Amino acid sequence: MKVFITRVIPQAGKDLLLAAGHTIEEWTEKRNLTPAELVAHCSDADALLSAGSNKIDAAFLDAAPHLKVIALHAVGYDNVDVAAATRHGIPIGNTPGVLTNATADTAFLLMLATSRKAFYLHKRIIRGEWNFFEPTANLGISLDGKTLGIFGMGSIGQNMARRCKAAYGMQVIYHNRRRDDTAEKELGATYVDFNTLLQQSDVLSVHAPLTPETQGKFNAAAFAQMKPSAIFVNTARGSLHNESDLIAALEGGQIWGAGLDVTNPEPMHPDNVLLQMPNVCVLPHIGSATQETRDAMAVLAAQNIIAGLKGERLPAVVNPEVYG
Ligand SMILES: NC(=O)C1=CN([C@@H]2O[C@H](COP(=O)(O)OP(=O)(O)OC[C@H]3O[C@@H](n4cnc5c(N)ncnc54)[C@H](OP(=O)(O)O)[C@@H]3O)[C@@H](O)[C@H]2O)C=CC1
Ligand SMILES: O=CC(=O)O
């Protein structure tokens, strides 16, 4: 059967599909498919492997109801109208777990780099501004024993918390819609309401999915409640924070710094003022970007496709209700 793949993915995933006897068409241009192009390329496909931010919305699903399975090369599925897929009887697969450590590493990297102004100081060396050693210059913030706040204590949030406890003995507080036993028992994490999370965190790391509830959650009112010494880290989705409110909070000293792997829009414009701020570190959405992790994601996405094309339950399914 034919699988359409929206961006070049690691060979390991393609090898698995080919070994299962499927044919592949891969979009190799370095630009997003337009909605019309996506529909056209799926017209004779049995399965879609979507890598990237193409909208799998109701209009697309109405135009491609013959798809037997859609597999995402990602864990986040905010680009998918899951209810519409279920209505069409199309299972949606994603890649949870295999990218957890890599993404938690990215959050940790951003926290530490921001706390020491690493990206900004690196740029100063390149500009020839490393002139002499000054005991009172280039100072960052120590993380030892500080309070880590996690918004979205799921797989990645828990792994970020584990790293921060092991490295810095940080106290962990968190906010989810529901309390999490594992986080409380294994990490000694304390459940708090959203306002307390904002007020008590020295580092606030965002790991919740993008949903109507979480969109724009970190806005002026939220930043105003945070400590002036706080570091905001977002490796979830850029739309969870309001960018102009974040800039105002940094400029106004409501918070101290920010580490971002995700922005809105992506890519971030090179003239963005955040890129000039000493206490801000920005990465180009590389949360899961290690060779090993991307290989594992491609393999899991291929396994989802292979199962879906056989009419079997996907190993990682977003909409189990599709099975009735
Ligand atoms: N930068 C990158 O490259 C990557 C980014 N991501 C992003 O990270 C997100 C998290 O991934 P992962 O940890 O695997 O997901 P999980 O599903 O394991 O965890 C998500 C957590 O968010 C919580 N949550 C959901 N809705 C809300 C809400 N409204 N308010 C507060 N908490 C909420 C959930 O708890 P509860 O249901 O109890 O509320 C859960 O604990 C993904 O959705 C994706 O957007 C993931 C991988 C790579
Ligand atoms: O952003 C990446 C994902 O896997 O979700």
Mean pLDDT of 134-152: 98
The ligand placed nearest to the CA atom of residue 236 is: 1
Q: What is the pLDDT of residue 22?
A: 98
Please determine whether the domains at 2-98+290-323 and 100-282 fall in the same fold group of CATH.
yes
Mean pLDDT of 149-160: 98
Omega of the bond leading into 265 within 30 degrees of 0 (cis): yes
- φ and ψ at residue 204, rounded to 5 degrees: -115, 115
Domain spans of the chain? 2-98+290-323, 100-282
What predicted TM-score, i.e. pTM, was given to this entire model?
0.98
Which protein residues touch ligand 1 with a CB less than 6 Å away?
75-76, 96, 99-100, 103, 151-157, 175-178, 207-211, 213-214, 235-237, 261-262, 285, 287-288
Q: Which of 50, 98, 286, 288 to mutate to test the pocket of ligand 2 (most atoms within 8 A of CB)?
A: 288
Residue 237 annotated as catalytic: yes
pLDDT band at 102 (very low <50, low <70, confident <90, very high): very high
Q: What is the pLDDT of residue 94?
A: 98
The CA distances from residue 206 to 37, 68, 164, 317, in Å, are 34, 34, 14, 24
> What angle, 0 to 180 degrees and rounded to 10, lies between the N-to-C axes of helices 100-115 and 291-309?
150
Q: Annotate 158-208 with three-state secondary structure.
A: HHHHHHHHHHHCCEEEEECCCCCHHHHHHHCCEECCHHHHHHHCCEEEECC
Q: What is the pLDDT of residue 308?
A: 98
Q: What is the pLDDT of residues 44-75, one digit of tens each?
A: 999 999 998 899 999 999 999 999 999 999 99
Q: Which of 73, 237, 241, 294 is catalytic?
A: 237
Looking at CATH, the fold of the domain delimited by 2-98+290-323 is given as Rossmann fold (3.40.50)
Which protein residues touch ligand 2 with a CB less than 6 Å away?
74-76, 99, 287-288
Q: What is the pLDDT of residue 125?
A: 98
Q: What is the pLDDT of residue 210?
A: 98
Q: What is the pLDDT of residue 255?
A: 98
pLDDT band at 198 (very low <50, low <70, confident <90, very high): very high
pLDDT band at 39 (very low <50, low <70, confident <90, very high): very high
State the distance from the centre of ligand 2 to the C-alpha of 125, rounded, in angstroms: 33
pLDDT band at 236 (very low <50, low <70, confident <90, very high): very high
Looking at CATH, the fold of the domain delimited by 100-282 is given as Rossmann fold (3.40.50)
Q: What is the pLDDT of residue 278?
A: 97
* Strands of 92-165, DSSP E: 92-93, 147-151
Mean pLDDT of 94-112: 99
Q: What is the pLDDT of residue 24?
A: 98
